[in-house]
Amino acid sequence: MLLVNQIRENYAGVLAGLQKRNFPNAEAVLAEVLSLDDLRKSTQTQRDQIQAESNSISKQIGMLMKEGKAAEAMEIKERTAQIKIQIKELEDQNSSAEESLKALLYTIPNVPHTSVPAGKSAEDNEVVLEHGEIPSLHPDKQPHWELIKKYDIIDFDLGVKIAGAGFPVYKGKGARLQRALVNFFLDEAMAQGYMEVQPPILVNEDSGYGTGQLPDKEGQMYFASADNLYLIPTAEVPITNLYRDVILFESDLPIKNVGFTPCFRREAGSWGAHVRGLNRLHQFDKVEIVQITHPDKSYETLESMSSYVQGLLQKLELPYRVLRLCGGDMGFTSALTYDMEVYSAAQERWLEVSSVSNFETYQSNRLKLRYKGEDKKTQLAHSLNGSALALPRIVASILENNQTPDGINMPKVLHPYLGFDKI
């Protein structure tokens, strides 16, 4: 959530950033924010002034009563009744302005970093680098949705019977591959100083608002109405919320957490090759890395997180590219996002497998996540997160890029985790 002072002090910059995002009616929305803030401040000032008058009158009444001037005291006391009514009216106005201001701020996305390119869609994203060679496959190459049938390792029909489309059943070596990837990703993260946590996969409304999934993605999250709980779309939500309403010490930073969870998303499509097989699911597994950092170091941290994810892809021997997302394609809460895409040689297209983002103070302002510096003053920390990695498209790419006429070779780094080197 943007800070009102941030809007006041850098109005032109905030407006330009929101326009880069193609945020509709940005100027009118910002004007309403400042108007509501002015109303909130003025009602508070008036309330404080009248309260001061009330305190003064109370002292006068006490003095008059001591002096035996009860009649005069009663005359003045009538004014206190009127003051109480005025104070209540001003408090109601102030509360209404605060609620309206907060609700409006929740609808405004984060301001993009200056390096974010302008653009409206994924076609406008900037390619930062490409790594690795595209594999040359045999003439009878197949996409992963055919390979999984051939080798009987993932069953979509069983998933439809049990839950519906977008909920696959992993079997045999398919299940082993899932588990191997999870353990590999967790081990790699812990070797880099991340502390593993196992968070809940259901979160309350406060948690959803804290990291910005609510109200922005409310319709895309599965909701357990009887308990007013949401199934998580990513481990970012519960892990980052570990630090909601927390004041850290500067010496605590950076905080590095990693967690493995299933993820649930209602927006999965049901048509076209782009969403076939593992390309888009309602439920999938993901290892997530989260960092809480000092504001001065968050962009250095973002680059190191991007390099870390690239290192995983290199160890898996997958060709990939890194994109800097444009203003129209980046997430609601992000200030800067890098997407990592792996090339699928069978589908002959790039598949997104990770996003690494810096949210600056956007989440921490919602979360009231602060740290105390050497000067004893509290400041908002910066939060970052990244997929390290999401499994479905990684599995799809491994299956497709490593297929041979007589089986699918597994990346060497996974052999100790798998117990086999080929499907």
pLDDT tens-digit readout, 304-324: 999 999 999 999 999 999 999
Q: Say whether both 223 and 129 belong to one domain.
A: yes
Q: Say whether both 384 and 273 belong to one domain.
A: yes
118-146: average pLDDT: 95
Residue-level pLDDT at 410: 98
As for how many domains the chain has, the answer is 2
Q: Say whether both 303 and 189 belong to one domain.
A: yes
Residue 274 has pLDDT above 80, yes or no: no
327-348: average pLDDT: 97
369-398: average pLDDT: 96
**Any domain includes 345:** yes
pLDDT band at 272 (very low <50, low <70, confident <90, very high): low
pLDDT band at 197 (very low <50, low <70, confident <90, very high): very high
Q: Say whether both 79 and 149 belong to one domain.
A: no
Residue-level pLDDT at 62: 80
Strand partners, 263: 284
Residue 409 has pLDDT above 80, yes or no: yes
**Amino acid occupying residue 231:** L
Range of the domain at 74: 4-106
Last residue of a domain, one of 74, 106, 138: 106
The pTM of the whole model exceeds 0.85:
yes
Q: Say whether both 210 and 79 belong to one domain.
A: no
99-125: average pLDDT: 97
- Do 36 and 96 touch, CB atoms closer than 8 A? no
Q: What's the pLDDT tens digit per position in 217-250?
A: 888 999 999 999 999 999 999 999 999 999 999 9
The whole-angstrom separation of Cα 364 and Cα 381 is 6
pLDDT band at 269 (very low <50, low <70, confident <90, very high): low
202-211: average pLDDT: 97
What's the CATH number where 404 sits?
3.30.930.10
Contacts of residues 90-99 at CB distance under 8 Å and 24 or more positions apart, as own/partner, are 90/43, 90/44, 90/46, 90/47, 90/50, 91/43, 91/47, 93/39, 93/43, 94/40, 94/43, 94/44, 94/47, 97/36, 97/37, 97/39, 97/40, 97/43, 98/40
Residue-level pLDDT at 273: 56
The rounded percent of the chain whose pLDDT value lies above 90 is: 87
The rounded percent of the chain whose pLDDT value lies above 70 is: 98
pLDDT band at 399 (very low <50, low <70, confident <90, very high): very high
Q: Say whether both 70 and 198 belong to one domain.
A: no
pLDDT band at 364 (very low <50, low <70, confident <90, very high): very high
83-108: average pLDDT: 95
Residue 271 has pLDDT above 60, yes or no: no
Residue-level pLDDT at 380: 98
